[in-house]
Amino acid sequence: MSKRVRTAVFPVAGLGTRFLPATKAMPKEMLTVVDRPLIQYAVDEAREAGIEHFVFVTGRNKGVIEDHFDRQFELETTLEVRGKTAALHELQKDLPSAGRTSFTRQQEPLGLGHAVWCARDIVGDNPFALLLPDMLFKGEPGVLKQMMDAYEETGGNIIAVEEVPHDEVSSYGVIGRGEGPDNSFKLTEMVEKPKKEDAPSNLIISGRYILQPEIFSLLAEQTKGAGGEIQLTDAMQNLMHQQNFTGVKYVGKSFDCGSKIGFLTANVVYALERDDIRPGFIRELSKLDLEEQL
């Protein structure tokens, strides 16, 4: 029987240069989709999947993330005195329980693989989930929960994938698909940013993983790859020689909130799904001459 996945790692040390100047003094993970920070959506997804321990790999100027997942007694007292019980309840329910969060520093920007390796002593000899907060997913159940369901059947390593047009595969990590249904199939290979004609499929790695702890020893020895950084994909390719990898073509929709277009699209979609916002939002949109702007 496979060990239960209780821990999730969130790499949040990136500089967010694509959102400057907004991210000059604020972490990109704290950018809000409607009224919730991106990192909160990722944590909510992990909690739904049964995660109990949340590990944040941070860098400079990221202290506000730690503050976000802490209690603010002055604010809570003010809300209570003013009778704003709904807002107070919303704040309190978002907080992980005491002792359920850990923070460690990635002191150099050496890539995603290095960020994951920085969590090794906290994760220990246990499988863990890895969630990239830039990627926001809408799914019922959440994408990580769909992956957990597959993990209970197969164990090993799990990667969430999605389809993209063949013309776009050169921008992503692409997988080769083996036997099995969409919600649990064997991965045969991984290729980082292949040419269209060389890609094994049009299924891309989408920012959600369940990994076994052996990945840490491989990352410790991993040489720098694309962009002069330690690439997680390179280590996973090596781990594929030792362990099984399963793909989950998740049910849902993704938003790449590391890009301005994906971020703005997510805000529109999430706003239109809110009963308290949708009517007013549609009314304001109707006042705009969108046809003239298009």
**pLDDT tens digits for 99-142?**
899 999 988 877 899 999 999 999 999 999 999 999 999 999 99
* Contact partners, residue 82, CB within 8 Å, separation at least 6: none
On the question of a cis peptide bond just before residue 21, with omega within 30 degrees of 0, the verdict is yes
Contact predicate 255/265, CB 8 Å: yes
* AA identity, residue 27: P
Q: Which residue in the block uniquely carries the two structure tokens 């080769």?
A: 176
For 18, which DSSP code?
A: G
Alpha helices in 139-277 (DSSP H): 143-154, 214-221, 232-239, 260-272
The dihedrals phi and psi of 49, each to the nearest 5 degrees, come to: -80, 0
The residue extents of the domains of the chain are 7-286
Residue range 7-286 in CATH 3.40.50.1220: no
What is the residue-level pLDDT of the chain in tens, covering all 294 positions? 678 999 999 999 887 888 888 888 888 999 999 999 999 999 999 999 999 999 999 988 788 898 888 888 787 788 778 888 887 777 777 778 788 999 999 888 778 999 999 999 999 999 999 999 999 999 999 999 999 999 999 999 999 999 999 989 888 889 999 999 989 999 999 988 888 888 999 999 999 999 999 999 999 887 766 666 778 988 999 999 999 999 999 999 999 999 999 999 999 999 999 999 999 999 998 888 766 665
